[in-house]
Structure 1
Amino acid sequence: MPNLEELGNVVFAMNPNSAPGPNGAKVLSRRLNLIHQNPMYKGFSMEQKGPQINNLSFANDVIISTSTDRHFMKIIMNTLKEYEHTSDQLINKEKSHFMIPNNTS
């Protein structure tokens, strides 16, 4: 049984930005939600005046929505790279999909 000092050393040695275990999707979702605080960011919406949809989380799966503007897509990609770096969790690119409307240039 660890003593209080040993337990404290383990807790304080943990990366505060990492998300070990099944809560990784929640941490990623929070990071993606922070993008909306950027006044230059334009997300995806079903209607011109409707609410913007950023992401939906289901257990360990995340669906990310954004506009098709290249700049905004780079913001999403940078957020995903930052998440991988800080959490030490890699996004499985073999199970990931990228979809765009047919009329997108």
Structure 2
Amino acid sequence: MAQFRAPLPHHNFRSKIEKVDEEFQKSGSFKRINNRRNNEIRDMFVKLGADGYSDASCFYSLGNTKILSLIYGPKPDSKNATYDKGKVFLEVKNLNMNITGTSDK
């Protein structure tokens, strides 16, 4: 049986791991680009009820990542019937922005 190997790029991850290990042995911590220590997280913020017009809302940010979630409904049924099942319509908007400046990357 013939074997085929996909032409994948080869990286020398061992040398990168050795460099990180050397730095950890010297200083006792990893060095990050944004000067955070390895036991620190990005600034976090959570606000419930961020929007006064929706039925429920939440604003969440972690570093430069920001999420705003809004909930509208349920709307009353005109037939005054009760249901065990329902439908959820989810709309996701993603702001793809290319901003130059400082980054955690």
The TM-score, its normalising length taken from structure 2, stands at 0.23
Larger radius of gyration: 2
Structure showing the higher helix proportion among its residues? 1
The TM-score, its normalising length taken from structure 1, stands at 0.23
Structure showing the higher strand proportion among its residues? 2
RCO greater where, 1 or 2, for CA within 8 Å and sep 6 or more?
A: 1
